[in-house]
Every structure is written in C-alpha cells, then in structure tokens.
Amino acid sequence: MFSMIKKGLGLIFLFSLCCFVQSASAATQQFPFLAEVSANEVNIRAGENKNFESLGRIKKGAKVVVVGKSYNWYKIELPSEAKSYINQDYIQMLDNSTGVVTGEKVNVRAGAGMNFSVIGKLIRGTQVRIVSKESQWYRIVPLQGMYGWIADQFIVFNSPDVSGYQMAKAVIVPIAVKSVSPENHPVDANVSTVIAEKIQNPHEENRTGQDTPKAQHTSSQEIYVSGRVEILEGDQEMAGINYKLVTDDQSVYYLRGPQKIFNEFLHNQVEVQGLRQDLPWTKHTVVEVFRINLVL
C-alpha cells in the first residue's frame, strides 16, 4: 500500500515538474525568432483561429519570422506572396506598379472588400508595390507591420537570428500627397509634387578627412549611394527600370521606383537609399529606392 502511495506521489511530482518546465519555457520565449514550417500547404490566417481568412498557404521548410504568440497560434511577419489589399481611393499611382498612400492610418485588409479583416495600417506617404487590381481594391506586397497567424503545431524553432529574413520596411517617399476623408471618400486626387530635400554635401561633414564612400551597405540588403541620375537606355526598360545612378568613379546602379520622382532629379547629384537587388540579367546592382535627396 505504501509503495502504491509512493508511486502515485512520484507521478504527481513528475507531472507538476513537466507543467512547470513547459510554463517556464513559454514565459521565457524570446521574440522575434526565425522558425521553419513543418508541414506542407499550411494556412496563414488573418487572426489567431481557423475562423479568420486565409492569407495564403506556405510550404514545408519555408522560413518565417515569429514576433509573438497568442494561445496556440504564432504571429508572423507576412511573406511577400501573402494577400494584402488596400482601397484604391487611398492610393495615388506613381507608375504602373508603384503607388503611394494618400490617407492617414489606412487599413490593409485580408481581401478585396470592407468585410475582410484588418491585417495592418499604413500612414500617408508610404510607398507600396502594386501586384494586381480587383474591383475597387489594389493587392499590394506586404510591408513590415502586417502580420498573419500560423497554428503552433506547424512551427519549429530555427534560430534567434532573424537578419536577412525580415520584411521590407514601410518607407515614406519624398512627395507631398493630399489627405483624404474617411474610407471611400477622397478629397483631392491631384498629382503628387516632388519635395527635393536639400542637404549639405556629406564630404563637408566628414571629420576624419577621408572621402565618404560612394556606396555604403547599412545592412544585408540596404544600400546608401550617391551619384548623378541619368536616363537608362536599352532592354532594361522592359523590366520597368528607366533610370540609372552614375557615381563619381563611373560605377553604375540601376534605379527602381517611382519614375516621376527620378525624372525630377534627372542630371542632378543625389543621395539614394534603398534595398539592394542583385539580378541575374544584369551585372549592375539594382536599387529599390525608398529615399532620394538632392545634394548641393
């Protein structure tokens, strides 16, 4: 009898210990972290249960950045192919594939309609990449600050290092846009005007006496480069690239982004900040520009 009681107390102790370890593990989990999807065709949901809309499916082995957890669901940064929609009344087109948000804190939704869940918000001036148009809605490439959810049973920890896997940051392009009233009621649809932010020549502020580098990589993908904006002629125009940046040492960078803005800086010395893209069809680096300043 004593042996049975002792055995029972041992089982209770082990159960309590397991619960404590599990609780302590959950409590000390650090976000963000890099995870791997453990099953094929896993749904990314707009909220933390199966009743929310699917933003798409993700394949086994895909890497995702986990930023939080709610019950049995992990909150992740959206992959570039996830569904994200914004009402056309809040977008002013800059070219065929680029737009800028014209409203304050505009909802990004899980589908093309007001009845879909909100998965993020964008502020006025945010540049967006347009994927397609459905009725009165633009589907856009997700930006940082837009999230989805995956059931924890399909997520396996991979690494605490998320560098190189995080989403593109939401950036504000240097243009003036008109505000709009509440959703679906635009106030003004006038064409945007360019604001050339005049800055001092960075060489004058260099206290070391050394030349400022023509191109500086601020992260694994971000690049900062100065040079002269010129027209790009040739087959690259088929890829939506019409302008190039020529540095003082004659290095060439292809510029991708709002064509109207580049035209305003044509033949001028500028500083450009953007995301570096090394593409197979060209030996030159392509820069997805999100900030351009005039150098005096």
Domain contains 208: yes
pLDDT given for residue 165 in this prediction: 74
Contact 243, 253 (CB under 8 A): no
Residue 178 CB neighbours (<10 A): 15
Domain contains 79: no
Question: Domain range holding 247?
Answer: 198-295
Domain contains 91: no
Confidence at 35, pLDDT banded by 50, 70, 90: very high
Tokens 């209770």, residue located: 12
Domain contains 138: no
Q: Which amino acid is at 252?
A: V
Task: Provide the domain count of the chain.
Answer: 1
| Nearest CA-CA partner of 286 in 245, 231, 247, 227 | 245
Residue 287 sits in a domain whose CATH number is 2.40.50
Confidence at 4, pLDDT banded by 50, 70, 90: low
Confidence at 218, pLDDT banded by 50, 70, 90: very low
Confidence at 170, pLDDT banded by 50, 70, 90: low
Contacts of 87-91 with CB under 8 Å at 24 or more apart are: 87/136, 87/137, 87/138, 87/183, 87/184, 88/133, 88/136, 88/137, 88/138, 89/136, 89/180, 89/183, 89/184, 89/185, 89/186, 90/180, 90/183, 90/186, 91/128, 91/130, 91/138
Domain contains 160: no
Confidence at 200, pLDDT banded by 50, 70, 90: very low
What is the 8-class DSSP label of residue 266?
B
Summary count for the chain: helices (H), strands (E): 2, 23
pLDDT tens for each residue of 70-95: 999 999 999 889 999 999 999 988 88
Q: What is the pTM of this model?
A: 0.54
User: What is d(CA 120, CA 150) in angstroms, rounded to the nearest whole number?
Assistant: 17
Domain contains 215: yes
Alpha-carbon dihedral 81, 86, 91, 96, rounded to 10 degrees:
30
The alpha carbon of residue 219 and the mean position of all alpha carbons in its chain are separated, in whole angstroms, by 15
pLDDT given for residue 192 in this prediction: 31
Domain contains 117: no
Point out the least confidently predicted range of 17-31, 84-98, 175-189, 241-255. Answer: 175-189
pLDDT tens for each residue of 54-71: 999 999 999 999 999 999
Tokens 């087959």, residue located: 235
| Nearest CA-CA partner of 47 in 108, 110, 107, 111 | 110
pLDDT tens for each residue of 93-138: 888 888 888 888 899 999 999 999 999 988 888 889 999 999 999 9
The rounded mean pLDDT for the chain is 74
Q: Between 270 and 21, name the one with better pLDDT.
A: 270
Domain contains 204: yes
State in Å, rounded, how far the first CA of the chain is from the last one. Answer: 92
